Amino acid sequence: MLVAHSTTVPNLCSEHRKQTAPAPTPSPMSTRLFNKLDTVHQIEEAHILHLSRQVEIGMQLFPKENIRLHPVAGGGVSALTTPQLGKQLNRTLGLGMKGMVTEDDLSNIEALHEEANLTPTILLCPYADQSVLQALAMRNYVVDGFLNIYARSLHEIHVDFDPNMDAPVELPFGSNMLVCRAPANEAGMGAFIHASVAGFKDDGRSDEVLRSLAETAALRSDTNLYFGKIDGQIAGCGAMALMETKYGRVAHLYIDSTTPNFRGRGVQQALIRARLIDAKRLGYDFATIHARPGIGTGRNAEKEGFGLAFTKPILTKKTN
């Protein structure tokens, strides 16, 4: 059964219109920002925390499956769920961020995956200890893809901050588009799951997998859900996880999708802008987005002031 969010908000999808939401001032993506080691660790710790909470919800959704999270060498974690959920929820993060990694460490990770009938997938932060690369090469790992990590400061966004203040009823964009939080009830979360599956339906994954990923976002107590509407119809949706790391608070924007009939009309960009404004109002000053290279998410993130912090190669073990 779906549970309500921990953040209680009113129904944010009324049809009352206000002025178009202002664009956040673009954040200067200086080299200095992303060369600060604390910033790198903040981004990586948030990525690990995000995956960990997805796994926690996976345990609730699939109590009969042996879903688990294992600490691994160098401060990382390996998430092991089910083969059906693919690489998005079966991956290793943070390897070598806090120390050396050896071939034996990788052998242990491989044994865990073999027991779970999974192929090891490692997302490597380019700031990890150099020993990781040597160990991966010796164990015959090859690059199987990339994940771009985008980030931006929210200091330049000027909004009234009051943690006890209700969120705005809506953020309009133009004359017929608005973004609102999904109602924090089963009906709102059900509508989010339906819209998310519809938006991702043509990417090759099964409805069952898409529904599981959407339910994982909907059930997280640290996540707010959002709708993008055009002429009153749900045109797209997205989520925002609000996380506390050792290095600061991070608002992570994820699981964005637009239904096919409304693509090309700026829905995702509006969803990104609205969540940045909401994150700032909730007291957050740093945001991240993850995207595969070459898709529209990265371009829309850059239009809203994000910069490419770094790119993670995705490595899998060569079977030959």
Domains and CATH numbers, the chain: 31-148 (no CATH), 151-311 (3.40.630.30)
Q: Which has more pLDDT, 246 or 15?
A: 246
Neighbours of 57 (CB within 10 A): 20
Predicted confidence (pLDDT) at residue 257 exceeds the cutoff of 60: yes
Report the candidate in 44, 34, 102 with the shortest Cα–Cα distance to residue 290: 44
The C-alpha atoms of residue 56 and residue 52 are separated, in whole angstroms, by 6
Q: For the whole model, what pTM was predicted?
A: 0.89
Nearest to 119 by CA among 266, 317, 320: 317
Statement: residue 288 has pLDDT above 50: yes
The predicted-structure confidence for 157-185, as pLDDT tens digits, reads as follows 988 766 555 655 689 998 899 999 999 89
Cβ-contact 229, 267 below 8 angstroms: no
pLDDT at 160: 73
